[in-house]
Amino acid sequence: MTQVPDWLDRLAAQAQQSKIPPYMRPPAGRGRAAAVLMLFGEGPFGPDVLLIQRSTRGRRHAGQPAFPGGGVDPDDGGPVAAALREAEEETGVDPGGVHVLGTMQELYLRYSDNRVTPVLAWWREPCAVHAASPDEVDSVERVPIAELVDPANRVMLRHPSGMAGPAFRVRGMLVWGFTAMVLDSVLREGGLELPWDPARVEDLPPDVVNLASRG
């Protein structure tokens, strides 16, 4: 059992005061409730975060790296229970070993019409994880924070729409979109970010664009 690091405690305490970009502010009366689990732990290479690679067969966000998560069901009673349930279903995480620290502000994903609540948690008692739902998840990775903050692994990705956002190349994955934006914010607000070059802009690869446009 490991202690919650100070930076994560501070991040959780400030989570409800984080600035939300205008395009991610939930519109009144729209959007389906969803939640994702941002599960940090102490791994063999230092602090890490749990990410999944979504199945290329999926209808939404096919092939994209993401936090475990999904829609909030009526029986869940809220985003925390939904995030834990989805993480267990997708990766085999034991909810009993997860210490929930709090929630971040709700974020709106226009493409999927979801109002997503990120749930911050510390992996108090880590367990083995795997792609527990093959129809939804291709692989599961514990990505070290050291790799995420490495300037060599950071880039700005430009979507065909012209919009550009932060991205990470880690563990054979190209982490972009919503997941990368949240990670970028967490690393910065947690005081973990290292100087990197946001002028390094690349186009989103065509194969990724094709997968992302399915739905």
Measure the CA–CA gap between 133 and 176, rounded to whole angstroms.
22
- The CA-atom distances, in angstroms, between 197 and each of 79, 151, 167, 175, 205 are 35, 7, 12, 17, 20
Locus of tokens 């939930």:
26
Which architecture, in CATH terms, is 6-212? Alpha-Beta Complex (3.90)
Reference 70, options 29, 22, 120, 33; nearest CA is: 33
Is residue 85 within 8 A of residue 62, CB to CB? The reply is: no
Is the pTM of the predicted complex or chain greater than 0.85? yes
Task: Delimit the domains of the chain by residue range.
Answer: 6-212
The pLDDT tens digits along the chain (215 residues) read: 678 999 999 999 998 888 888 888 988 888 999 999 999 999 999 999 999 999 877 655 567 999 999 999 999 999 999 999 999 999 999 999 999 999 999 999 988 899 999 999 999 999 999 999 999 999 999 999 999 999 999 999 998 888 899 999 999 999 999 999 999 999 999 999 999 999 999 999 988 877 766 54
